[in-house]
Structures are given as structure tokens and as C-alpha cells.
A = this chain, B = another copy of it.
Amino acid sequence: MKILVVSAHPEPKSFNTAMRDEGIATLREAGHEVVLSDLYAMDFDPVARASDFQERSDGNYLNYALEQRRNMENGTLSPDIKDELEKVLECDMLLLNFPVFWFSVPAIMKGWIDRVFVSGKMYGGRRFYDRGGLRGKKALVAVTIGSRQHMFGEDAIHGPFGEMFRHLLQGTLHYVGFDVLPPYIAWHVPYISHEERGDILRSYRRYLQSIDQLRPIEFPSLNDFDELLRPVQPTPVAIMETPAD
């Protein structure tokens, strides 16, 4: 596979960065082609703004999604967006590697999403979820987090992990069509020992060696919703009449 790794940690010597590099080495050893976007090293600008567009449909009023569509079609997105967009379109798998900030991605990565996941090409109208523009590609989230594992779950203090991160796993990655693999979560990282961190690196390595076997998370299918995206009522089962005998 061609794999795009996007990472966002402000400290190059962090464990999060070590995990990213262990991941890249593992994937390359398995024969995959890996491209890295290290957003801090690139000094990536995360703010969606007018200068993202070299042409404007309306120079007096910025409709960001509309200008994304027009500038995508005309090849006039700003060069930094164009570069990242090309990497996303060419990859078979996107791997987001980041430290959890507020149960989500750091701002620099949120802005990479805001600016690079362009309307029109990646989604639009009823082209989202299992009809999203990037369907057929995989996505994987690999994070370090301060919480302990027992802090997520049905009766846990933060509730299920999938609900706290639904905006990212379903609302962002699956929205544009990715098959989203189960996230790799390195728990309680700021508080654990050097040995435990070594264990995590080994477990992450094994995880990535098995990605071909991982089944994507299940999400709603647009097939179960009508043209206004209301749930389709289940078709009543025809009552089988006993043939008169």
C-alpha cells in the first residue's frame, strides 16, 4: 500500500514521535511505501482563510466550501493545500498520528483537515459515509493519551471511546469515505515508565503488522436512508398465507 502518515507533535523527541517513527519503520519493512507529513516540521498553517484560493467565485463574500469546489476543479488551491491533497488522493491508507488534545486532534491537524478535505472532491450532497469521495481507502488513528483505559467504556467516566471520538472517526474520516480501522491507543503515556513505553512500541509494531486482518469499524450506510437522509422504514415482511389445502 501507499501510506500517508500525518503527524502533529510539537516535540520531536516525544514518545508520540518515537511511536510515529516505529510505525513508519514497521510499515516500510512490510513493503509499504510511506510518505510523511510532519505538520509541525512543515510549519503547516491550520487556518482556513481567503488566501487558500488563487481564484474566487465571489471576491466580496467568502463561501469557503464553494471556493474549495471551484478552486479544486480549476487547480487553483493554494500550493500547500494542493500538495497535501495530492498525497491524500494518492494514498491507499491515511495514518493520523497525534497526541490527544481535548479528546480530538491538535489544532494544527484540525486545520489540515479543514483545509485539505475539500468539498466537491471528497464529499458533497449525498456523497458521504459509504458514498464518500475517498471510499476504498483505509484510515487509521494512532494516538497517545493521558487517560487510563478503564476511563473509557459504557459505564466509564468518559463514556465509550467511539462516542468521544465520533466526530473524528465517523464525522470526519468515514464522512469522506474512508474505511476506518480500530484506533491504536497508547494509554496513560505521560505517567508510565520507560519499560512500559517499550512495551507499547512493540505492541504498536505488532498492530501495524496485522493491519491487513483488521476489520473496519461499522457505521451507518446511506442505503438505509432516503433522499432527504431520513431513516428508511423497514419494509413490512409479507405475511405468508398458508395455501388452502
A13, A49, A163, A225: most-surrounded residue (chain B CB, <10 A) = A163
Produce 1/0 per residue, A131-166, CB < 8 A to B: 000000000000000001011000111110001111
Interface centre among A108, A110, A170, A228 (most CB of B within 10 A): A110
Name the one of B46, B103, B117, B156 contacting A171, with C-beta atoms under 8 angstroms.
B103
Name the one of B104, B107, B156, B166 contacting A231, with C-beta atoms under 8 angstroms: B156
Chain A residues at the B interface, C-beta cutoff of 8 Å: 10-11, 13-14, 40, 46-50, 60-65, 101-108, 110-111, 113-114, 117, 129, 148, 150-151, 155-159, 163-168, 170-172, 175, 190, 220, 222, 225, 228-231
Known: A10-B62, A148-B228, A156-B231. A111 touches B107 (CB 8 A): yes
- Please list the 9 inter-chain residue pairs (A to B) with the smallest Cβ-Cβ separation, ordered nearest first: A107-B111, A103-B171, A103-B167, A46-B107, A107-B110, A11-B62, A110-B110, A163-B163, A102-B172
Task: Given A103-B171, A107-B114, A150-B230, output 11 extra A-B contacts at Cβ < 8 Å.
Answer: A10-B50, A13-B61, A102-B171, A104-B167, A104-B171, A150-B229, A159-B170, A163-B166, A164-B171, A167-B167, A167-B168
Given A163-B163, A164-B167, A171-B102, A157-B47 contact (CB < 8 Å)? no
Q: How many copies does the complex hold?
A: 2
How many Å lie between the Cα of A137 and that of B63 in the bound state?
34
- Are B157 and A171 in contact (CB-based, < 8 A)? no
Show 11 residue pairs from A and B whose CB-CB distance is below 8 angstroms, ordered by the A residue. A10-B50, A11-B61, A102-B171, A104-B171, A107-B107, A110-B111, A157-B220, A157-B225, A158-B170, A158-B171, A164-B167
State the Cβ distance, A183 to closest chain B Cβ, in Å. 14
Residues of B within 8 A of A220 (CB): 157, 159
Contact across chains for B148 and A159 when beta carbons are under 8 A apart:
no
Return chain B residues, CB-CB under 8 Å to A47: 40, 46, 107-108
